[in-house]
Amino acid sequence: MAILVTGGAGYIGSHTVLYLQEKGENVVVLDNLKTGHQDAIQNVTFYKGSLHDNTLLDRIFQENEIDSVIHFAASSLVGESVENPLLYYRNNVVGTYHLISKMVEYGIKNIVFSSTAATYGNPEQLPILESNPTNPTNPYGETKLAIEKMLRWCDDAYGLKSICLRYFNAAGADPSGRIGEDHEPETHLIPIVLQVALGHRQTVSIFGNDYPTDDGTCIRDYIHVLDLAQAHYLALKRLKSKKESGIYNLGNGKGFSVKEVIETCRKVTGKELSSKVGPRREGDPAILIASSKKAKEELDWEPMYLDLENIVSHAWEWHSTHPVGYEDKRVGE
């Protein structure tokens, strides 16, 4: 049997594919390469195309013995979603609607879904529990919450079992340096700061220093991408054994401010790293920190790389050895 990984050529998807391969799983990837890289995946059955292509989805489900799906494919940038919400409703909600419809048609009962801390909005308590209210402050979070709800109703109606993993901020890279994060343009904080270290940018702009935090900058919970990969594997195992849907936070349990992240990058790279304070970015909550107690208890999740310096070191290992990222994007230049 095979696992279909949508968005498997993306940052978190490719790390999960590698993890699943190392566990001996048979993996099929669907990715339109909008933000992913074919070079990030090796030795898998790969279909280049979109969630919106029903004919391609038919082919994938007919040509492979798929018994479960891990669904990463999405548009996932907070700022972009505020500027272009319809793109997010189409790619995330409508795209997932197509995928789930085909799963129901082909009788595939298990899905692990990439949800997000952005479903909570400005949290009422910290650390955030899965049972806390969800009030997204941006269209990205809204679309992910809409999908969680769609999945819940599909469990009731069709017996489709889902585990929604609400990740906090994915960071780091495969410690052996084989794959890493490569987005164009890059919007995530750690790779942006490391681009300053590489001399690809002059400075990093700090998006606001008037938040209600100790140093005035936003606090986030950075979780290693391989710890996320492990959680997907465990979530699939649980779906297959318990046949129960669920929602789980995945975070480090510790929060770091933007200034603290920049300082850690200075320490790891040994470089000065210029920064300047700019305006707030619309849609950003002040503080997001996870409680991952439920994932640890019910999925037996044991994150291995909780130290921020370690996470940044793995990211730096990738960026310093691949200063322009994957080779494939230079094809045709």
Ligand X SMILES: O=c1ccn([C@@H]2O[C@H](COP(=O)(O)OP(=O)(O)O[C@H]3O[C@H](CO)[C@@H](O)[C@H](O)[C@H]3O)[C@@H](O)[C@H]2O)c(=O)[nH]1
Ligand Y SMILES: NC(=O)c1ccc[n+]([C@@H]2O[C@H](COP(=O)([O-])OP(=O)(O)OC[C@H]3O[C@@H](n4cnc5c(N)ncnc54)[C@H](O)[C@@H]3O)[C@@H](O)[C@H]2O)c1
Residues with catalytic roles? 140
Q: In terms of residues, how long is the chain?
A: 333
Residue 205 binds which of ligand X, ligand Y, none (CB < 5-8 A, kind-dependent): ligand X
- Direct distance between the N- and C-terminal alpha carbons of the chain, in angstroms, rounded to an integer: 39
Residue-wise DSSP of 158-212: H--EEEEEEE-EEE---TTSS-----SS--SHHHHHHHHHTTSSS-EEEE-S-SS
Grouping H, G, I as helix, E, B as strand and the rest as coil, residue 320 is: helix
Helices 11-22 and 225-242, packing angle to 10 deg: 60
35 contacts ligand Y (rule: CB under 6 A): yes
Would you give the binding string for ligand Y spanning residues 92-131, x where CB under 6 A is met?
A: ---x------------------x-x---------------
Shortest Cβ 214–ligand X spacing (Å): 14
For the purposes of burial, counting CB atoms within 10 Å of the CB of 157, is it exposed (0-12), middle (13-18) or buried (19 or more)? exposed
By CB under 6 A, the residues from 37 to 96 that bind ligand Y are 50-52, 72-74, 76, 91, 95
Q: Would you say 227 and 304 are in contact if contact means Cβ atoms under 8 Å apart?
A: yes
Shortest Cβ 164–ligand X spacing (Å): 13
Of the candidate spans 11-19, 104-112, 151-159, 279-287, the one that interacts with ligand Y by CB under 6 A turns out to be: 11-19
Instruction: Count CB-CB contacts under 10 A for residue 55.
Output: 8
Query: HSE of 196 in the Cβ direction (CA atoms, 13 Å)?
Result: 23
33 contacts ligand Y (rule: CB under 6 A): yes
Using the minimum distance from each CB to ligand X, give the nearer residue, 110 or 114: 114
Applying CB under 6 A, what is the total number of residues that bind ligand Y? 28
Using CB under 6 A, list all residues that contact ligand X: 76-78, 116-118, 168-169, 187-189, 192, 204-207, 218, 220, 258, 281, 284, 288
Using the minimum distance from each CB to ligand Y, give the nearer residue, 52 or 322: 52
Question: Interface with ligand Y by CB under 6 A: which residues?
Answer: 6-7, 9-13, 30-36, 50-52, 72-74, 76, 91, 95, 114, 116, 167, 169-170
